[in-house]
Structure 1
Amino acid sequence: MTEYTLVPPGEPIDLDNCAREPIHIPGSVQPRGYLLVVREAGAVVLQCSANATALLGPGVDGVLGRSLPEVLGEPAARVVLEQVAALADHRTRNPGLVQVGAGDRAVVMDVVVHRPPPATAADPGPVFVVELEPADGPRPLTYGSTYELVRDAIADLNRTGTLDGLYDQAARHVRRLTGFDRVMVYRFDAEYNGEVVAEARRDDLEPFLGLHYPASDIPPQARAMYEKSWIRLISDVDYAPVPVVPTDEPLSGRPLDLTYATLRSVSPIHCEYLRTMGVRASMSISLLRDGRLWGMVACHHYAGPHAPSYGVRAASEFLGVALSARLVAQVEQDLLAESRRASGVLARLVAASRDEDVRLAQALTRTGDLLDLVPADGVVVCAGGDLATRGRVPDEASCHRLASWGSALGDGVVATDRLAEEPGAPQVPGVAGVVAFALPDGGTVVWVRDEVVRTVDWGGDPHGKVEVREEGGVRLGPRTSFALWREHVRGRSQPWDDRHAGNAADLRSHLVEALFRRGQVEVGAARALQRTLLPPTLPAVPGWAVDARYEPAGTGQVGGDWYDGLVLADGRLALAVGDVTGHGLPAAAAMGQLRNAVRAYLLDSAPPAVVLGRVGRLARWILPGQMATLALAVLDPATGVVEHASAGHLPPLVVRADGTAAWRRPLGSPLVGLLEGDPRSETLVLEPGDALLLLTDGLIERRGESLRVAMERAVERVGRPCAGGLADLALRLRGPGPGSDDDATLLLLTRA
């Protein structure tokens, strides 16, 4: 159930080990109701709470081992079994209403049914849990008692347009519905410290609004429980736990998991915590965002025990679900508004970065847009060897230290409000928070925030554990005072929102493009260009499969390999593989122009040889001195006829359905850049099960070896290629030993 080691049963619990207390298997329940564990097969009662005899008859033995109709009576058992059978998640049908006993002993009860979470996939169950509570108070979900209140609450939540307004409305409506003396909305920070952001209370109670509580008040396994079970009630903090008999569930031999039980007994440390606060009854409602605990509605009662009926609790849970959804919607609405604002700022910064008449660092800092994008006291920009600043920044030497650190951050964005705790970060007097990212040219952008000595008002000293002396030794107990305790926090800035890091990441992606346009970091920019020119997807043609793979040489240089595939206007499929000589940005740029030229000349469905002839003439005109090899094949999907031509490229490698493989004969055409006129072309037919490969020589050639030997080896190793298996095929074709220093590209066409 958890990712931490739970303490063994029977070990005393104190504040040193309460975070490992197995609260999901307490072995006991609260005495406000009764619990039965029933085996579904035969509806036999396997376990019961020890107090069940007060309702169901004398002696536990009179309950255990008997059928549910015998224990509850036929009508009540029928209601329970109908709930179990109704839905996969029968908790949505809770509560049922039953009468237990007859005559003067007849009692009307709310009945709540759930299944315990399975401990393992091989859990021997199934069993289900039946909980019975006296049906006190207004009946659940009657129009006057709950529906009107819930309807009004939902309407108020929907009319509210701010987070603070949502908190206030939720606190007010939950108190009105449940009758607790104090209802607080409690929000967690990233470390699960809590803050009271709204409350509704009795007029004579001191306010808790704005107080903070440490994460240790709600340990991790308790937070995990709140994520699974939305609501928890302690009707009397002085209750005596009622044991479940027997403790272990007989079918599995494990303690009964009470995660979903409304009567689950709670940690004695928590009850001690509440008593110290003067609280006599407590209820909590989870607030979730994306399935994670975001906060809670905490209800306290001081005048004595307080037990809202199950119907009222169900209505409160519904409010918690509605508030969670409304909070998520409001957060998303706020994020959308911020995103729109940030998009406008980002557009101005992108425009500034494209002004090639101004150095990039100066272009970004000549206005306050960087500080509008990520609110900060100042910003340091290092780009192209220049350093520029805007706003309030430290001295020049400190700015250079920040720039040096930021330039080594890799591809991500770092956002911290505690710079001194960041590994490898420079110590800069007065600066406590940064958002920073590195640029590909060795530059960086670093936003800085000053240290802010914050005053945090805690509900009692968060470090104030006390020793409790009792028979058998000394243990650590909760703090004894919850009076206002003020702490001054140093070494931190105002925290950053997640959207600040997101805005910085968006800017970084645009600045990478700006650096490319400015000619910075030629190899990195060429890689980006090459990736964008390769097609994100290949055409899908019924009865045929097309797949491709590109592997860089691993030398740190970018070659001019490329591949393409597109369906022509007449329905034929065109496939191309090319290899531009050279490396770096010139090769990548030439690759892009040739790829686009091939696409343009294919628009009128010209034959492959004609397309290559036109590309050759264009290359001699716009790319003088640039050489490239190029193979082009055009398939008629209906007939399987492939017309192909090449300019200085390897011929197609054809693998027949029977596994035989052979290269098509070379057509002897010169390279693009030397090609004059249209090259020769040839046709072939692919039958069902056949495959055709277009590849670059970097995939098969080896240093010091003739290309003929490499081609013969490829025929021996090609096997039966298939779409989705090109990684293995490329590995087979490359083989062991010293390979080529060139990129490798492979394009596969197979017929079903």
Structure 2
Amino acid sequence: MSDAAPGLQLLPPGTPIDLTNCEHEPIHVPGSIQPRGVLLAVSEPDLVVQQVSENLADLVGVAASDALGRPLTEVLGVAQAEAVARSASAFGDLRERNPVELTLDVDGGPRPVDALLHRAVTGSAGEGMPPASTLVVELEPAFGPRPFSFPNTYQAVRGTVGELNRASTLQELYDITAHAVRQLTGFDRVMVYRYDADHNGEVVAEAKAPGLNAFLGLHYPASDIPAQARALYEKNWIRLISDVDYVPARLWPAAWPASGHPLDLTYSTLRSVSPIHVEYLQNMGVRASMSISLLRDDRLWGLIACHHYTGPHAPPYATRAAAEFLGSTLSLRLVDRAEEDEVHRALRVRSTLAWLTAATLDEDRPLVDTLLGSPDLLDLLPADGVVLSLQRHSGSRGAPLPEGAAEAVAAWAAAQDEDVVATDSLPRSAPGLDADPACGVLVVPLPDGQFVLWHRAEAVRTVDWGGDPHNKAIAEREGDEVRLSPRKSFDRWRETVRDRSEPWSAQEVTEVLELRTHLLEALYARSRSQVRAAETLQRSLLTEPPQRADLEVAVRYVPAAREAQVGGDWYDVFEQPDGSTVLVIGDVVGHDTEAAADMAQLRGVLRGIAYDSADGPAAVLTRLDAAIAGLGLDALATVLVGRLVPEPASGGTRLRWASAGHLPPLVVGRDGVARALTAPRAGLLLGVDPAAVRPECEALLEPGSTVLLYTDGLVERRDQGFDDGVDRLAAELASLADRPVGEVCDEVLARLLTDDAEDDVALVAVRLGVSRAPAGR
């Protein structure tokens, strides 16, 4: 392990910590602990004590100097050390089995303690070797419910979990949790604290003792909890400071003897906290505090913050575990609620987008009229108004802008050289422009000066801060020196925020990006003679494959040799959040603009269904078929969906695939033999029966194998059947097995495709278990 986290430099020993350097403070290696317990760091497997906290004798009855270099059995006792060893020898995360309940013999009397175990990295074991680690044993005096067990923990919060499950709003979830944690832990104040996109915090729920002033609704600046502290909250979900006036108990020796590195206390329950944070709490009048992390997708979303004012406060381990369990339950319920809201919104937006996309195919109606019909672009994206300029037609809906303002904003956006330009403060982003009443704009610049522009008015709002966020520090005189200290005033401070609209969310920008793709398709279909529009269409339809070191991917699309070079063939390659790679090849029946529109909708809907779904390819096809019927797309198509899942145990890759009437994938192994992967029965093409079920097949592919997906334009000829065409393609593929996949695609097209081909061709070629960059298209 390095001396500090990536990008974090350790300060020289003895450097005073103040607000000029606290953002770089190495808080994970403080070199001391809170003295409510003691710490022993022991080597493995011999369990010899290498480091201890200097207060060891207070709890164990053995002086720190006497414990160093001795076996753990001689420090804690044989039975106690054996209990620690048994727990440490089990597989998995040691923290999941905490605490180890021990009874020490101190001065001839029993002393119950909770032993909390984890492993910490103590430096490198040598070049090419994994990092060395040590077993950290933290002991706290045991009191409260015993024996500790998950059933007992769950029993303590079962009623609250039921209330959380019945809650119908986010505010109910917050309020229930705040009151339950206060009742469970006995803190004077418990707050649910939520971060915004800039890491500023807001108190969204509060349970407090009578007589305390309310913090509900107050905001706190991101600087109150620096980035490295937030990173620790994502790893260690609960932190207790039982007495802010504690005197730190130093670790002795200061560094791990074998490496000279300080002991990493990231996962320590007794980790000493930053003196800046202690002073911050003292300035608030807080005597003890506890925080529980709230996570979404393993990222810090907020905190349950507990404060005590009447003196030190140390809830026992079992109580803290129950409170942490409540925090985890709230996190899960928040994720469920957020995902449910996102699904409902996404379905509504998807329906609107599908309708608008289909409507743009009516070339007898100007695009502006189509997009301002019913539904219109304000149904897709909420705003105060929208302005369009497409194909020499202009129009608007909603609040009007001054003459020429939309064009000036669009020109500024086009100069940013981005597909979509969004700002919630035009006066700050482009101070020279006067587009009042527009304050926030989202612009889609399009070729030849065309554009779509949504605008939102200024949303004047007030924010109540817990103290002036712009006065983050005060000067403190200490003798002849002056240092910076956390602010002392936490009185409500109201700020009026101007020159900002309601922000554009990342999801809204993503949806507008998809609309942009469909608009480019429509512009291309209406302007075939414009080469620039055709090139833009190709870039928007045929996305680059993902950049992966273990896959070599090539994709190709060749339009048919006919006047209207728009068809229904498509491919798609994308990576799922779990690391799997999805391969798609499809062919919509038809060769006109209607087929192209159906293809675009199917491609978008399929990607939306499959992106973060754990469903297999057959289930994805079933859902896509249902969407075709439900959205009234009236499309017929053959589609093959494959999912590549690496299998580290075997070194190979498992291909799961299902076909809706599409041609079988071809695979060439390292032996150069090509074979078609056939299903036990044919799968019905899409658009015929939404209840159709297709077989799902699997094949384990060895490293170096090549997989080829293709459309029928490559193998269909008037003078040969499909089987003959597939056999010929397999033979050509086998002869090219040792070539890069980009060359494989080009050679296959050159050898099999004639100049007068009447059908489009799409190809996806993947080489497994290689370390070359993707070949592109």
- Calculate the TM-score normalised by the size of structure 2: 0.70
Q: Cα distance 1:526–1:45, how it changes in 2: closer, same or farther (>3 A)?
A: same
CA apart distance, 1:331: 0.4
2:525, 2:566 within 8 Å by CA — same for their partners in 1? no
- Indicate yes or no: 2:71 matched with 1:67: yes
* Alignment-mate amino acid for residue 15 of structure 2: E
**C-alpha distance in 1, partners of 2:284/2:201?**
16
Residues 356 and 267 of structure 1: CA distance in aligned 2, closer, same or farther (over 3 Å) = same
Structure 2 residue 493 is matched with structure 1 residue 489:
no
1:514 to 509, 517, 522: 522
Q: In the alignment, which residue of structure 2 is the partner of 1:478?
A: 486
SS at match of 2:132: coil
Rounded Cα–Cα distance in structure 1 between residues aligned with 2:202 and 2:765: 60
> For residues 167-195 of structure 1, what are the alpha-carbon distances to aligned partners after superposition, in whole Å with 9 as ceiling and x for unaligned?
11211211121111111111111110011
User: Partner of 1:356 in structure 2?
Assistant: 363
Q: Does structure 2 conserve the Cα–Cα contact (< 8 Å) formed by 1:405 and 1:425?
A: no
When residues 69 and 724 of structure 1 are mapped into structure 2, their CA distance, relative to the original with a 3 A threshold, is farther
Once residues 49 and 639 of structure 1 are traced to their aligned partners in structure 2, the CA distance between those partners, rounded to angstroms, is: 66
Corresponding residue for 1:11? 15
CA displacement at 1:408 relative to structure 2: 5.0
Change (3 A) 1:525 1:148: same
- Distance in 1 between residues matched to 2:143 and 2:386, nearest whole Å: 63
| Contact 1:515 1:521 survives alignment (8 Å) | no
How far off is 1:721 after superposition? 3.8
Letter in 1 for 2:337: Q
Tell me, in whole angstroms, the C-alpha distance in 1 between the residues paired with 2:382 and 2:542: 38
Tell me how far apart the structure 2 counterparts of residues 562 and 357 of structure 1 sit (CA, whole Å): 21
Does 2:324 match 1:317?
yes
Quick one: distance in 2 between partners of 1:551 and 1:366? 34
Aligned residue type for 1:523:
V
Letter in 2 for 1:115: R
Q: Does 1:45 align with 2:60?
A: no
Q: How much is the aligned-residue C-alpha RMSD, in angstroms?
A: 4.5
Q: Does structure 2 retain, via aligned residues, the 8 Å contact 1:226–1:293? A: yes
- Residue 440 of structure 1 and its aligned partner are, at CA, apart by 4.6
Measured after TM superposition, the shift of residue 241 of structure 1 is 0.6
CA distance in 2: counterparts of 1:639 and 1:474, whole angstroms: 78
In structure 2, do the counterparts of structure 1 residues 455 and 203 end up closer, same or farther at CA, with 3 Å as the change threshold?
same
Q: For residue 176 of structure 1, what is the aligned residue in structure 2?
A: 183
Deviations 1:324-371 (A, max 9, x none): 111111100010111122233334433443343331123212457322
The offset of 1:437, in angstroms, is 2.0
Partner residue, 2:640: none
Match of 1:458 among 465, 477, 481: 465
Letter in 2 for 1:315: A
Aligned to 1:113: 117
1:404 to 411, 420, 439: 411
Whole-angstrom CA distance in 2 between matches of 1:749 and 1:188: 42
Structure-2 change in CA distance of 1:8 and 1:383 (3 Å): farther
CA distance in 1, matches of 2:231, 2:553: 45
2:40 to 31, 36, 43: 36
Structural mapping, 1:143-162, within 5 Å: 146-162=153-169
Distance 1:547 1:471, change over 3 A: closer
Does the 8 Å contact 1:409/1:437 carry over to 2? no
For residue 511 of structure 2, the aligned residue among 498, 503, 512 is 503
Gaps of 5+ in 1: 538-545, 566-584, 593-634, 642-674, 695-719, 734-743
> Shift of the alpha carbon at 1:447?
1.1
Which range is displaced more, 339-348 or 724-733? 724-733
CA contact (8 A) 2:440 2:455 kept: yes
Specify the alignment match of 2:97 in structure 1. 93
- Native 8 Å contact 1:416 1:434 kept in 2: yes
8 Å Cα contact 1:140-1:146 kept in structure 2: no
Larger Rg, first or second structure (1 or 2): 1
Task: Say whether 1:288 aligns with 2:288.
Answer: no
Which residue is 1:380 aligned to?
Answer: 387
* Residue number among 332, 337, 351 corresponding to 1:330 in the alignment: 337
Aligned to 2:236: 229
Answer yes or no: is the 8 Å Cα contact 1:140–1:309 preserved in 2: no
Task: Tell me the CA shift for residue 560 of structure 1.
Answer: 11
Change (3 A) 1:406 1:269: same
- Residue 140 and residue 461 in structure 1: after superposition, are their counterparts in 2 closer, same or farther (change >3 A)? farther
Partner of 2:404, secondary structure, is helix
Residue by residue over 1:463-512, the C-alpha shift from the partner in whole angstroms, topping out at 9 and shown as x without a partner, is 22100111462111111100001112222112233332233233223323
The 1:12–1:423 alpha-carbon spacing in structure 2 relative to 1, beyond 3 Å, is farther
* Contact 1:393-1:399 within 8 A present in 2 as well: no
Contact 1:407 1:443 in 2 (8 A): no
Amino acid at match of 1:431: A
Checking the alignment, whether the CA contact within 8 Å between 2:291 and 2:305 is kept in structure 1 is: yes
CA deviation vs aligned residue, 1:261-285 (integer Å, no higher than 9, x gap): 0000000110111111111110001
Post-superposition offset of 1:724: 5.7
2: CA distance, partners of 1:87 / 1:318: 22
**Distance in 2, Cα, partners of 1:342 & 1:483:** 43
1:340 paired with 2:347, answer: yes
Amino acid of the structure 1 residue aligned with 2:201:
G
- Would the aligned equivalents of 1:141 and 1:147 in 2 still touch at CA under 8 Å? no
8 A contact 1:287–1:293 mirrored in 2: yes
Rounded to whole Å, the distance in 1 between the matches of 2:224 and 2:553 is 56
Output aligned runs, 1:535-614, within 5 Å: 550=556
1:16 CA displacement: 1.5
1:398 partner amino acid: A
Counterpart position of 2:204: 197
What's the counterpart of residue 135 of structure 2?
128
- Amino-acid identity (%): 49
1:291 and 1:466 mapped to 2: Cα distance?
Answer: 35
Aligned counterparts of 1:265 and 1:226: Cα–Cα separation in 2: 14
Could you tell me whether the CA contact under 8 Å between 2:101 and 2:112 is conserved in 1? Answer: yes
Q: 1 CA distance for matches of 2:446 and 2:457? A: 24
Shift of 1:220: 0.7
Aligned residue among 64, 75, 83 for 1:79: 83
C-alpha distance in 2, partners of 1:512/1:725?
32
Give the distance between the partners of 1:307 and 1:133, measured in 2 at CA. 11
Q: 1:745 to 1:429 in 2, by over 3 A?
A: closer
Does the alignment pair 1:468 with 2:476?
A: yes
Question: Matched residue of 2:378: which SS?
Answer: helix
Q: Compared with structure 1, are the counterparts of its residues 433 and 182 closer, same or farther at alpha carbon in structure 2 (3 Å cutoff)?
A: same
Q: Tell me, in whole angstroms, the C-alpha distance in 1 between the residues paired with 2:766 and 2:46.
A: 61
TM-aligned CA distance change 1:294 to 1:446, over 3 Å: same
1:37 and 1:129 in contact (8 A); partners too = yes
Return 416-425 or 59-68, whichever deviates more: 416-425
Tell me, yes or no, if structure 1 residue 20 matches structure 2 residue 5: no
2:424 maps to a residue whose letter is D
Shift of 1:151: 1.1
d(CA) in 1 for partners of 2:47, 2:346: 56
Q: 1:552 to 1:253 in 2, by over 3 A?
A: farther
CA distance in 2, matches of 1:749, 1:206: 63
TM-score normalised over the length of structure 1: 0.72
Question: SS state of the match for residue 390, structure 1?
Answer: strand
In the alignment, is the contact (CA less than 8 A) between 1:125 and 1:251 conserved in 2? no
